[in-house]
Amino acid sequence: MTGIIDCHLTLDPSGTFKRDEFTPAVPALPGDLVAAMDQQGVERGVAAPARPQDNGYILQCRAQHPARLHAAVRIDPRDPGALLAFTESASQGACGLLLDPLGQGFDDRDAALLDPLAEAAGTLDALLLVDCRPALGLSSVEGAMRLAHGHPETPFVLLHAASQRFADLLPAAETGDPHWRNFFIDVSGTAVRLRHSPFWEQFRWTMRGLGARHLVFGSGWPSGDIGEAAQAVRDLGFSAEEEQLIFRENMARLLARRG
């Protein structure tokens, strides 16, 4: 394995990140990210902006570090110009689109809203990343999986492994169903949260049932620690060959689709 590929990084033009009011802000400039990647053996990463209005910034970061950073733009699908904005961003070098149903407050089950973007991502060989993090009893898992199943040619990456709803991902473990061939799950952040909990063995069993073919590594930097996330993935107990798929090969293949 040459180096890890991290599918889940965030950059903000402010250059700092603050988890909450009780913790100090930490530096989070592109240079800080590259330094953290170097320290943890991360060769490349997919970075998205914290807000949709910062898509231009993330494309600039990609241009500054073309060998290290890929850019995923964040777009509100309710914007009448969402499809055009996505295709223009792809023409400027973006590798994919990040959707955040809970954070942006749109219905992830609205096919009329999301199908055009999913179709365009498949046509452009671009990633469709979905921030799949249940909160307050709500979940974006069902809608994200329906969207992925309906667009089997589009590479989907579900971030956060659906958090406490991880068992809802099990339908993707069905062998031989071609609808899931481009369906991938970012396991790392939830693995960190559950590693020392009573749910760990259930989570571990579920991820192993899905198989390394469907898993990718994402640290969630700067809110997540790259080294801690990597260790949580190693604690899942996959073989060295399977870890190579999770840490590198699955994402390398997806990113190569855009050349």
Query: Are 95 and 72 spatial neighbours (Cβ–Cβ below 8 Å)?
Result: yes
Question: What pLDDT does 229 receive?
Answer: 97
Question: What pLDDT does 142 receive?
Answer: 86
Q: Is residue 201 pLDDT above 60, yes or no?
A: yes
16 beta partners: 27
Question: What pLDDT does 135 receive?
Answer: 66
pLDDT single digits (tens) 131-168: 987 666 666 688 889 999 999 999 999 999 988 899 99
Distance (Å) of CA 18 to CA 30, 56, 98, 234: 16, 22, 21, 28
Question: What pLDDT does 137 receive?
Answer: 63
Q: Give 2 or 99, the one with higher predicted confidence.
A: 99
The dihedral built from the CA positions of residue 102, 105, 109 and 112, taken in this order, carries a sign that is negative
Residues 190 and 209: their CA atoms lie apart, in Å, by 16
What is the CB-side half-sphere exposure of residue 228 using CA atoms within 13 A? Answer: 14
Lowest-confidence pick of 80-94, 99-113, 118-132, 209-223: 99-113
pLDDT single digits (tens) 210-235: 999 999 999 999 999 999 999 999 99
pLDDT, averaged across the chain? 92
Q: Give 83 or 259, the one with higher predicted confidence.
A: 83
Question: What pLDDT does 13 receive?
Answer: 93
Q: Give 91 or 188, the one with higher predicted confidence.
A: 91
Residue 5 — very low, low, confident or very high, per pLDDT cuts 50/70/90? Answer: very high
Is pTM beyond 0.85? Reply is yes
Residues 200 and 192: their CA atoms lie apart, in Å, by 10
**In which residue are the tokens 């991880």 written?**
166
Question: Per-domain residue ranges for the chain?
Answer: 4-256
Q: Is residue 171 pLDDT above 60, yes or no?
A: yes
Q: Is residue 1 pLDDT above 60, yes or no?
A: no
CATH assignment of 4-256, among 3.20.20.140, 3.40.630.10, 3.40.50.2300, 3.40.1350.10: 3.20.20.140
* Omega before 222 within 30 of 0, i.e. cis: yes
Lowest-confidence pick of 58-72, 163-177, 243-257: 163-177
From start to end of the chain, where are the E strands? 4-11, 16-17, 26-27, 42-49, 69-74, 96-99, 127-131, 156-159, 183-186, 215-216
Q: Which two tokens stand for residue 174?
A: 């069905």
What is the CB-side half-sphere exposure of residue 7 using CA atoms within 13 A? Answer: 35
Which of 46, 47, 55 lies closest to 76, judged by CA?
A: 55
At residue 44, the 3 state secondary structure works out as strand
